[in-house]
Amino acid sequence: MLSPLTKPSETELFGIAFLDSLYRYALVLTRRHTEAEDLVQETYVRAIEAYGRLREDSNIKAWLFTILRNQWFNELRRRRSAPQFAEADGEHSVVDALPSNASGAQEMMESHENALMVREALSKLPPEFQEVLILREFEELSYQEIASVLNCPAGTVMSRLGRARSKLRAALVEFGDAAFSERKKA
């Protein structure tokens, strides 16, 4: 257990480094920017409340992702009994917030085009495949950390990740073929 004398400023800052990662993951789960923001905020509220019970050797990143996912499932359970309303959250895709790296102008252009293709292909995958790909490839969680977050065996994570990568690869080939056909027509 952490010391009960932990300063509030330390408590407030302990997971700030993961804010963007949590937000991207929340977008995958909620598919709406405002809901993702609310979910991340609620995650931090819960984490700060439980911070004093956290063991010193705990993996804070995996712990925060687990809290976020559990909060989302709690929200889904609450919604089952409430009336459903459809709400458009703008024109942005769920995966618009995914990071990309580029340096020169040509590289930036190619990287942007590739990122758009990856984002489009990723958005077409089922949510469970999006979730495991985001956690592994973008948030760089280990298989064991992902298993902890998803509350499933590591073997399930590995097989789901394999299927997700295969589906993403096929979608990217399809997008590449479509882009090639478009260029050929021009």
Domain of 1, CATH number, reads: 1.10.1740.10
Place of tokens 């009994």: 81
Identify whether 154 is part of a domain: yes
pTM metric for this prediction: 0.60
* Mean pLDDT, all residues of the chain: 77
Residues 116-132 pLDDT 10s: 778 888 888 898 898 89
107-130: burial string, b at 16+ Cβ within 10 Å, e else = eeeeeeeebebbbebbeebeeebb
- CB contact set of 1 (below 8 Å; sequence gap of 6+): 52, 53, 54, 55, 56
Identify whether 93 is part of a domain: no
Residue 133 pLDDT exceeds 70:
yes
- CB contact set of 75 (below 8 Å; sequence gap of 6+): 39
Statement to judge: residues 116 and 181 lie in one domain: yes
Identify whether 97 is part of a domain: no
Q: Which amino acid is at 164?
A: A
Residue 31 or residue 161, greater confidence: 161
Percent of the chain with pLDDT over 70: 68
Statement to judge: residues 74 and 115 lie in one domain: no
- 3 state SS of 3: coil
Q: How confident is the model at residue 102 (pLDDT cuts 50, 70, 90)?
A: very low
Identify whether 129 is part of a domain: yes
Query: What pLDDT was estimated at residue 82?
Result: 60
The domain tally of the chain equals 2
Residue closest to 127 by CA, chosen among 83, 85, 90, 94: 94
Statement to judge: residues 69 and 113 lie in one domain: no
Q: How confident is the model at residue 16 (pLDDT cuts 50, 70, 90)?
A: confident
88-103: burial string, b at 16+ Cβ within 10 Å, e else = eeeeeebbebbeeeee
Statement to judge: residues 175 and 142 lie in one domain: yes
Statement to judge: residues 64 and 109 lie in one domain: no
Domain extent for 38: 1-79
Q: How confident is the model at residue 115 (pLDDT cuts 50, 70, 90)?
A: confident
Query: What pLDDT was estimated at residue 6?
Result: 47
Q: How confident is the model at residue 13 (pLDDT cuts 50, 70, 90)?
A: low
Identify whether 87 is part of a domain: no
Eight-state DSSP code of residue 134: I
Percent of the chain with pLDDT over 90: 28
Identify whether 61 is part of a domain: yes
Identify whether 183 is part of a domain: yes
Statement to judge: residues 71 and 108 lie in one domain: no
**Least confident range of 4-13, 22-31, 156-165:** 4-13
Statement to judge: residues 110 and 180 lie in one domain: yes
Query: What pLDDT was estimated at residue 183?
Result: 54
146-184: burial string, b at 16+ Cβ within 10 Å, e else = bbbbbeeeeeebeebbeebeebbeebbeebeeeeeeeee
Residue 162 pLDDT exceeds 90:
yes
Identify whether 96 is part of a domain: no
Statement to judge: residues 52 and 115 lie in one domain: no
